[in-house]
């Protein structure tokens, strides 16, 4: 779950049309430049570490604009039951002004640049970033440094944002996909910090104090846990100089040497059922424990998920869709939509499928989902894998279209891997995946494993958990 807060205006329409260098080179040199050559010509990511541990990473992409921001190892997984939601609360507080720029002045500064100031919080990461014209990079870095280091946290602003957070919690309750996936984490990682939602419970939103928020900042907003990331028309040496000016004083020490350490998160096969026969459609998710972010199994599992794909009744193609499960869903009217996913964290992951269907097709969707998983373990073909690899490569390239997604990719990867993995390296790893690798890796994570299951709505037909559990074995034969 990621939340987005914005202050300021978007940049001009003419500037928003710029494409990534990879897409540009593919488009311009249709006959003369291959995909591999385009990847080889992609700009490199420069990485520098300051004396206090802050990492500065940037990529010159050739755009006329740039995106710059701070990515922090902080999120709901670092919170306790008492302060769960503090990171999300602080995300809102960041836009209420700093010690040098009260809210009106901060907004005026952002508006005067025609910039876009945003933030999001996830389970392991927090980000504050701005999209700007290249000439405004120094001012943007200055404002971001104040947002992170000098957020005012006045009592009046805390109380004002408390009401905003509570309203947003109510709104999220209406997003059943978010609710379903939050409940999936709650049951799969029960008794561990990964079970907590990013937004936190309403009870915490009502009781979190200014002191709680200040303690959260002092505990987690440390230089070694941060990455200053930028993409677009940005000079790396200039960015490093700006980082030294505005972030050299950022603390790298912990009071009492109390360095926050992530506790292990065990996966528990289990289920949550929230039956409501008055609802028109059922929302169901089923998942097994997947691979951690740094695991070599990540790429084969990504290919496997690309083979299963996604589906929506609004898609064209019907029975001719390349995904077997999507084709079957279209022919048999099995569901309104489904989406295969893999959420990876520092030491674990969730590999699963979320679907929306009517009350009469829940059992069929569970059956055919598990059947698709078992096919990955046993009968996946060369053509299946080739299709999955091409779909995955297209997705990776498409997701990096613009300075903001590139900047986000840089920030998250440096936090996860302490480097930016080049797209060419990802593509090389994808190309190395074979049917036997897919079968081997999928058998490791899927075959005879206990799943986590969540059902919301008219779910009378949702199979008994033990029956669903047995489906992870017998569908192989």
pLDDT, mean of residues 400-406: 92
Could you read off the pLDDT of 152-173 as tens digits, one per residue?
A: 888 888 998 999 999 999 999 9
Could you read off the pLDDT of 177-218 as tens digits, one per residue?
A: 999 999 999 999 999 999 999 999 999 999 999 999 999 998
The predicted structure's pLDDT at residue 472: 83
Could you read off the pLDDT of 416-453 as tens digits, one per residue?
A: 999 999 999 999 999 999 999 999 999 999 999 999 99
Q: How confident is the model at residue 319 (pLDDT cuts 50, 70, 90)?
A: confident
* Alpha helices (H) in 18-130, listed in sequence order: 21-28, 35-40, 86-93, 103-112
Q: How confident is the model at residue 252 (pLDDT cuts 50, 70, 90)?
A: confident
The predicted structure's pLDDT at residue 10: 33
- Tell me if residue 460 is catalytic: no
pLDDT, mean of residues 251-269: 79
Minimum mean pLDDT range among 119-133, 254-268, 327-341: 254-268
Dihedral, CA atoms, 374, 379, 385, 387, nearest 10 degrees? -90
The predicted structure's pLDDT at residue 134: 93
Find tokens 């709650």 and name the residue.
186
Share of the chain above pLDDT 90, in %: 75
The predicted structure's pLDDT at residue 420: 95
Q: What is the mean pLDDT of the chain?
A: 89
CB atoms < 10 A from the CB of 440, how many?
Answer: 13
Residue 343 has pLDDT above 90, yes or no: yes
Among residues 59, 60, 91, 124, the one annotated as catalytic is 91
Q: How confident is the model at residue 35 (pLDDT cuts 50, 70, 90)?
A: confident
CB atoms < 10 A from the CB of 146, how many?
Answer: 20
Q: How confident is the model at residue 1 (pLDDT cuts 50, 70, 90)?
A: very low
CA–CA distance, 109 with 8 (Å, rounded to integer): 9
Using CA atoms, how far residue 460 sits from 338, 363, 426, 439, in Å, is 19, 10, 43, 34
Could you read off the pLDDT of 77-107 as tens digits, one per residue?
A: 999 999 999 999 999 888 888 888 888 999 9
pLDDT, mean of residues 120-130: 96
CB 116 within 8 A of CB 9: yes
The predicted structure's pLDDT at residue 475: 54
The predicted structure's pLDDT at residue 5: 39
The predicted structure's pLDDT at residue 97: 84
The predicted structure's pLDDT at residue 254: 74
CA–CA distance, 133 with 64 (Å, rounded to integer): 7
Q: How confident is the model at residue 315 (pLDDT cuts 50, 70, 90)?
A: confident
Domains plus CATH for the chain? 5-257 (3.30.830.10), 270-474 (3.30.830.10)
CA–CA distance, 183 with 272 (Å, rounded to integer): 7
Residue 56 has pLDDT above 60, yes or no: yes
Q: How confident is the model at residue 8 (pLDDT cuts 50, 70, 90)?
A: very low
């Amino acid at each position: 779950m990621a939340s987005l807060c914005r202050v300021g205006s978007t940049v001009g329409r003419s500037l928003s049309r710029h494409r990534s260098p990879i897409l540009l080179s593919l488009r311009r040199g249709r006959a003369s430049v291959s995909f591999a050559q385009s990847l080889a010509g992609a700009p490199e990511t420069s990485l520098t570490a300051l004396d206090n541990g802050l990492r500065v990473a940037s990529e010159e992409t050739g755009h006329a604009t740039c995106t710059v921001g701070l990515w922090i190892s902080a999120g709901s997984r670092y919170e306790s039951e008492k302060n769960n939601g503090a990171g999300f609360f602080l995300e809102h507080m960041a836009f209420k002004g700093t010690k040098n720029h009260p809210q009106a002045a901060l907004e005026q500064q952002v508006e005067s640049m025609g910039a876009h100031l945003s933030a999001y919080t996830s389970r392991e990461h927090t980000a504050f970033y701005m999209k700007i014209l290249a000439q405004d990079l120094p001012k943007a870095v200055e404002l971001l440094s104040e947002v992170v280091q000098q957020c005012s946290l006045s009592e009046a602003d805390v109380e004002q944002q408390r009401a905003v957070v509570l309203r947003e919690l109510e709104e999220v309750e209406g997003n059943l996909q978010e609710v379903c996936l939050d409940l999936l984490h709650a049951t799969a990682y029960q008794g561990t910090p990964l079970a907590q939602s990013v937004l936190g419970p309403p009870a915490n939103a009502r009781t979190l104090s200014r002191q709680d928020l200040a303690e959260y900042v002092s505990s987690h907003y440390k230089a070694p846990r941060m990455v200053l990331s930028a993409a677009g028309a940005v000079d790396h040496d200039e960015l490093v100089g700006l980082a030294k000016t505005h972030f050299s004083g950022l603390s790298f020490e912990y009071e009492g040497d109390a360095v926050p350490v992530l506790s292990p998160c065990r996966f528990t096969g289990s289920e949550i059922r929230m039956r409501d026969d008055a609802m028109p459609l059922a929302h169901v998710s089923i998942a097994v424990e997947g691979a951690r972010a740094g695991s070599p199994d990540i790429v084969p599992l990504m290919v496997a998920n690309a083979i299963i794909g996604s589906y929506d009744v609004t898609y064209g193609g019907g029975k001719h869709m390349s995904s077997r499960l999507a084709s079957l869903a279209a022919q048999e009217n099995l569901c309104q939509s489904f989406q295969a996913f893999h959420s990876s964290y520092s030491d674990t992951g969730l590999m699963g499928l979320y679907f929306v269907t009517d009350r009469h097709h829940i059992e069929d969707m569970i059956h055919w989902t598990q059947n698709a998983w078992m096919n990955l373990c046993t009968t996946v073909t060369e053509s299946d894998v080739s299709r999955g690899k091409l779909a995955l490569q297209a997705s990776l390239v498409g997701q990096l279209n613009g300075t903001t997604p590139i900047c986000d990719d840089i920030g998250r990867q440096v936090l996860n891997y302490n480097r930016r993995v080049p797209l060419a390296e990802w593509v090389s790893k994808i190309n190395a995946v074979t049917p036997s690798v897919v079968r081997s890796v999928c058998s490791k994570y899927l075959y005879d494993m206990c799943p986590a299951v969540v059902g919301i709505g008219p779910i009378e037909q949702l199979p008994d958990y033990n029956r669903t559990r047995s489906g992870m074995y017998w569908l192989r034969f």
